[in-house]
Amino acid sequence: MDPGMILRLRRGQAEERDRRLAEILIERGLLVPEEARDLRHACDPGTFGDMLVRMRRVSDEQLARFERESGVREVMAALHDRELPEEVREALQNTLARVGKYVLVKVLGRGGMGEVWKGWDNQLHRWVALKFLTGDHPEVLRRFLREADLASQLSHPGITRVYEIGVHPKRPFIALEFVDGKSLEGGKLDRRRAAEIVRDAARAVHYAHEKGVIHRDLKPANVLEARDGRVFVTDFGLARPASGGGSLTVSGAVLGTPHFMAPEQALGRPADARTDVYGLGATLYALLEGRPPHEGTDSFEIIQRASHGATPPQTAHDDLSVIVRKAMEAERRDRYETAAALADELERFLRGDPILARPVGHFTRGMRVVRRHPAYASTIVLLAAAVVAGIFLGNRLLRERRDRTRIEEANREIDAARPLLAQIDRMQEAGRADDPAMEQALSLLESRAASALRIASDYAPAIHLQGLSQFYRRRYREAEATFSRVLSRDPTYHDARGRRGLARFYLLSWVPLDFVQDEGSFRIRFVPYPSEDEERIRGAEEDFRSLPAGHRDREYGLAFMAFARGDFEAARTGLRRLLGEASFRAEAWHFLALAELLAGDPDASLRASSRAIELGLKDAPTHSARAFGHAVQGRFDAAVEDAAAALARNPEWPQLRRLRAAWLIELRRFEEALREYDVLLARPPERTDDLLNRSIAYSELGHHESAIRDAARAVEIAPRDPWTYWRLGRNRIAAAQALIKARKTEPALGELRGAEAAFDGMISCAPAEPEGYVQRGMARMRMSRFEEALADFEKAVSLRADLRETLRGLMDTCRKNIR
């Protein structure tokens, strides 16, 4: 090992470190693989992270966190290596066989929606079944995630548990309890074992029913038998809440496996608990007979058979075959009422007790047929009915096929938009909101959405795409309406609900803050949202609350709700946490800025609002929030800049303009203040505070006439307000002083008299306020009317004794001059 060797060896390890970092960033959706590769090749080994920070793709803190994470991951993995099962150790050699903390070991099966892998959880050290979605049709993705969502609510020893829903941008997956055993697909069992298995499955299914979940696709492939004999029901892929929940699929009837399908499903009617009873019966049938109950040369034929509801023939004739037939009755009301009832019945059979179901004779069967088809009460007509049903079904299938083509085309447009969405997110995060490429991506997104809608105008994912394009454009009002349309078609469309909630909240565009100046210090006050906003807030809250736990928008929503309630602590804690993970939600940064401000951390607030602006949210509220952040710390120069930016975007915000003008006066930038007041006073109602403040600016600039005019106007508007007189008087004194300086004694005297009159007015409004006397006294002094002045000062002192000290000098001067 010479130093050169060590150097090369370290270099090689640095390359690997960069690669691991890239993997984590890709996993987080912060980088796409091609880009990661290009960037990695563009820098020296070991400097990849630094480059990303320089490019502002990640922050320093993020980088540190990711590096730590990758380090800990490695260390833990290596340390536990030796205890790992052989298969896992082998799989570990292939870094591609990793998804998050899982090591992929082998494929267990491939289904319609994707692949199922046997995997190893490297953190919790246990086997898992990982179900990956292949292809990325949004419809399928949603069904997939919904399965996870529904199934994760179920916790029963007979149902495979959901450990984790992996919302991986490229490879969404579900981590499920791994069952060491096999599915019952294609198997034929002895009658007793078959009965035991279906009994256990029925108990588990009943539990799901109690939780409001219907499985809808029960078949041997979805029943697992573990080595130790335990039975698990799995794959809630078609499951649907028993109540509510709109149709997810345009062509409901073609979902599910036709071989085990209940007649009502084949006919596209809604499923209920008894549909699963049928599925359990069909499963039992298959386990006993070694073949599925409905067979045919193609699915059309199978569906046709299933819809007839004819119970298939059975080889044995015993109690068990009676149970199968009753579970598989064509009419739901003829089946076992619940899965539990079926389980109990199988239990009776296993114990050798008499079962409750009675064998059905030919007569009863005939009666049932009549009941089902009352119009055709003869066997001949029954045959015709079958043909009619067939034609009807045929038409239906044709229509569905047409729909399906349409949906597929729309999905192609939606799929094409997917990279755009990712690109927009990336650009936003990189603070490239002003990049022309952003505009391009947004336009493209709009046109994709438009063409998806042209193809299938009532297809929820297409409408959703349109909503997203509006959302990204920050046209929240339109987006809110669009997402509402999605939800009217499919109330379970969580993403649309989440976005609608956000859009609603973001529509509260004004900043619920008030800037209060008292005793020279500045405070920020929360102004609760007015009642006209309440409905919007309530709507947003409803949206957020009806999202499933763990949905990202729900988390944001709850933080926003805390803010709207005035719980800034909770809001900022929540938002800080969320924004640490995905930092590109500019609006959330904005509300974090407000929450920080109200919670008393103006520095954090400034950082948050700067981040929001960086991310392209350059609207008036964001700039105003930052202006407040500056102003509350006395940095008025920065505050007026941001306020100007806010006003440029929303000139109709008098309150902010007023504050800006006041800050300008603090900065002694009177010219600019003057311009702001000109704008404010250009439209009614004329406010006295604006007039008075403008008069200050005029006065300071030496435009005494204008200053006096404004103050006089204020007196006219508010003749009972002593302070308007005060300002008028002060302005006149200032004018007099200027005139004296210019040696224009006579006009100066006129102004002083005017000032005296103004203070007379003040005293008549507020006779108990010493200030009026003080000011009048000073005006009189300047006119050498010392006796009257002295009287005024004495009056003031009599009203407030502590003025004696302040006025002592003035009073002495008066006395001296009187003598």
Partner 1 sequence: MEETALGGQERAFPTTLWSSILKPGKPDSDERRRTIEKLFSIYWKPVYCCVRFGWNKPVEDAKDVVQDFFADLLDRDFLKDVDPAKGRFRSFLKAALRNFMMNEKRDAARLKRGGGAKIVPLDGVEHFQAAPGDPDQVFDAEWLRSVLARAVDELRSDLTKAGKEKVFRVFELYDLAQGAEPTYGSVAKETGIAESDVRNHLHAARGFLRRILIRQISEYAVDERDVEEEIRWILG
Q: Kindly tell me which residue out of 80, 192, 401, 523 binds partner 1, with binding defined by CB under 8 A.
A: 80
Q: Kindly tell me which residue out of 34, 79, 227, 801 binds partner 1, with binding defined by CB under 8 A.
A: 79
What is the pairing mode between strands 126-133 and 114-121?
antiparallel
Among the listed ranges 71-79, 302-310, 422-430, 707-715, the one in contact with partner 1 (CB under 8 A) is 71-79
Q: Which is nearer to partner 1, 132 or 786 (CB)?
A: 132
Q: Which is nearer to partner 1, 96 or 380 (CB)?
A: 96
The token pair at 366 is 């005939």
Asked if 84 touches partner 1 (CB under 8 A), the answer is no
Q: Which is nearer to partner 1, 12 or 33 (CB)?
A: 12
Q: Which amino acid is at 161?
A: R
What minimum distance in Å lies between the beta carbon of 78 and partner 1? 4
**Tokens 């002003």, residue?**
434
Asked if 12 touches partner 1 (CB under 8 A), the answer is yes
Asked if 27 touches partner 1 (CB under 8 A), the answer is no
Site for partner 1 in 94-123 (CB under 8 A): 95, 101, 123
Measured distance CA(278)–CA(695) in Å, rounded: 86
Q: Which is nearer to partner 1, 12 or 651 (CB)?
A: 12
Site for partner 1 in 148-187 (CB under 8 A): 152, 161-164, 175
E strands present in 598-732 = none
Q: Which is nearer to partner 1, 8 or 192 (CB)?
A: 8
What minimum distance in Å lies between the beta carbon of 107 and partner 1? 21
Give bridge partners of residue 513 from the DSSP assignment: 526
Measured distance CA(786)–CA(772) in Å, rounded: 17
Measured distance CA(613)–CA(432) in Å, rounded: 11
H-helix or E-strand containing 205? helix 191-210
Q: Which is nearer to partner 1, 64 or 648 (CB)?
A: 64
Asked if 1 touches partner 1 (CB under 8 A), the answer is yes
**Tokens 């008549």, residue?**
764
Q: Which is nearer to partner 1, 6 or 384 (CB)?
A: 6
Q: What is the DSSP secondary structure assignment for residue 159, as one 8-state letter?
A: B
Asked if 6 touches partner 1 (CB under 8 A), the answer is yes
Measured distance CA(272)–CA(382) in Å, rounded: 27
Asked if 5 touches partner 1 (CB under 8 A), the answer is yes
> How many residues bind to partner 1 according to rule CB under 8 A?
41
Measured distance CA(626)–CA(123) in Å, rounded: 43
Q: Kindly tell me which residue out of 42, 124, 167, 527 binds partner 1, with binding defined by CB under 8 A.
A: 124
Q: Kindly tell me which residue out of 24, 43, 51, 76 binds partner 1, with binding defined by CB under 8 A.
A: 76
What minimum distance in Å lies between the beta carbon of 72 and partner 1? 6
Q: Which is nearer to partner 1, 87 or 347 (CB)?
A: 87
What minimum distance in Å lies between the beta carbon of 168 and partner 1? 14
Among the listed ranges 69-77, 247-255, 442-450, 589-597, the one in contact with partner 1 (CB under 8 A) is 69-77
Q: Which is nearer to partner 1, 90 or 347 (CB)?
A: 90
Q: What 3-state class would DSSP assign to 112?
A: coil
Among the listed ranges 68-76, 305-313, 402-410, 606-614, the one in contact with partner 1 (CB under 8 A) is 68-76
Among the listed ranges 9-17, 319-327, 680-688, 744-752, the one in contact with partner 1 (CB under 8 A) is 9-17
Among the listed ranges 6-14, 261-269, 494-502, 607-615, the one in contact with partner 1 (CB under 8 A) is 6-14
What minimum distance in Å lies between the beta carbon of 167 and partner 1? 12
What minimum distance in Å lies between the beta carbon of 243 and partner 1? 23
Instruction: List the one residue out of 27, 32, 30, 54 whose CA is nearest residue 43.
Output: 54
Measured distance CA(173)–CA(248) in Å, rounded: 20
Q: How many CA atoms lie within 13 A of 122 on its CB side?
A: 25
Q: Which amino acid is at 721?
A: D
The token pair at 628 is 């407040």
Asked if 2 touches partner 1 (CB under 8 A), the answer is yes
What minimum distance in Å lies between the beta carbon of 173 and partner 1? 13
Q: Which is nearer to partner 1, 100 or 754 (CB)?
A: 100
Q: Is 217 a catalytic residue?
A: yes
Measured distance CA(162)–CA(155) in Å, rounded: 9
What minimum distance in Å lies between the beta carbon of 576 and partner 1? 18
What minimum distance in Å lies between the beta carbon of 166 and partner 1? 10
Instruction: List the one residue out of 749, 677, 675 whose CA is nearest residue 711.
Output: 677
Asked if 54 touches partner 1 (CB under 8 A), the answer is no
Q: Which is nearer to partner 1, 123 or 764 (CB)?
A: 123
What minimum distance in Å lies between the beta carbon of 71 and partner 1? 5
Instruction: Please enumerate in sequence order all residues whose Cβ is within 8 A of that of 465, keeping only pairs 6 or more positions apart, or say none.
Output: 413, 414, 417, 445, 448, 449, 452, 453
Three-state SS sequence of 432-461 = CCCCHHHHHHHHHHHHHHHHHHHHCCCCHH
What minimum distance in Å lies between the beta carbon of 657 and partner 1? 49
Instruction: Please enumerate in sequence order all residues whose Cβ is within 8 A of that of 243, keeping only pairs 6 or more positions apart, or say none.
Output: 212
Measured distance CA(364)–CA(546) in Å, rounded: 47
Among the listed ranges 67-75, 381-389, 594-602, 688-696, the one in contact with partner 1 (CB under 8 A) is 67-75
What minimum distance in Å lies between the beta carbon of 49 and partner 1? 13
Q: Kindly tell me which residue out of 34, 41, 86, 93 binds partner 1, with binding defined by CB under 8 A.
A: 93
Both ends of the chain: CA-CA distance in Å? 107
Q: Kindly tell me which residue out of 55, 78, 226, 384 binds partner 1, with binding defined by CB under 8 A.
A: 78
What minimum distance in Å lies between the beta carbon of 230 and partner 1? 21
Q: Which is nearer to partner 1, 73 or 727 (CB)?
A: 73
Q: How many CA atoms lie within 13 A of 298 on its CB side?
A: 1
Give residue 804's Cα distance to chain centre: 64
Instruction: List the one residue out of 318, 317, 319 whose CA is nearest residue 346.
Output: 319
Q: State the catalytic residue, choosing from 121, 217, 495, 543.
A: 217
Q: What is the DSSP secondary structure assignment for residue 353, as one 8-state letter?
A: P
Count H helices and E strands in the chain, helices first: 34, 13
Other beta carbons within 10 angstroms of residue 77's beta carbon come to 16
Asked if 72 touches partner 1 (CB under 8 A), the answer is yes
Site for partner 1 in 672-701 (CB under 8 A): none
Contact between 668 and 700 under an 8 Å Cβ cutoff? The reply is: yes
Among the listed ranges 5-13, 53-61, 137-145, 288-296, the one in contact with partner 1 (CB under 8 A) is 5-13
Ramachandran class of 437: left when φ > 0, alpha when ψ lies in -120 to 50, beta otherwise: alpha
Asked if 14 touches partner 1 (CB under 8 A), the answer is yes
Write the interaction track for partner 1 spanning residues 602-641; mark x where CB under 8 A is met and - where it is not.
----------------------------------------
Measured distance CA(696)–CA(707) in Å, rounded: 7
Q: Which is nearer to partner 1, 147 or 344 (CB)?
A: 147
The token pair at 658 is 């007023």
Contact between 513 and 590 under an 8 Å Cβ cutoff? The reply is: no
Asked if 74 touches partner 1 (CB under 8 A), the answer is yes
Among the listed ranges 49-57, 93-101, 562-570, 692-700, the one in contact with partner 1 (CB under 8 A) is 93-101
Q: What is the DSSP secondary structure assignment for residue 168, as one 8-state letter?
A: -
DSSP of 7-51: HHHHHHHHHHHHHHHHHHHHHTTSS-HHHHHHHHHTS-TT-HHHH
**Tokens 């990758």, residue?**
70
Instruction: List the one residue out of 96, 199, 204 whose CA is nearest residue 160.
Output: 204
Active site amino acids: 217
Q: Where on the chain is the footprint of partner 1 (CB under 8 A)?
A: 1-2, 4-6, 8-17, 19, 46, 68, 71-72, 74-82, 93, 95, 101, 123-125, 152, 161-164, 175
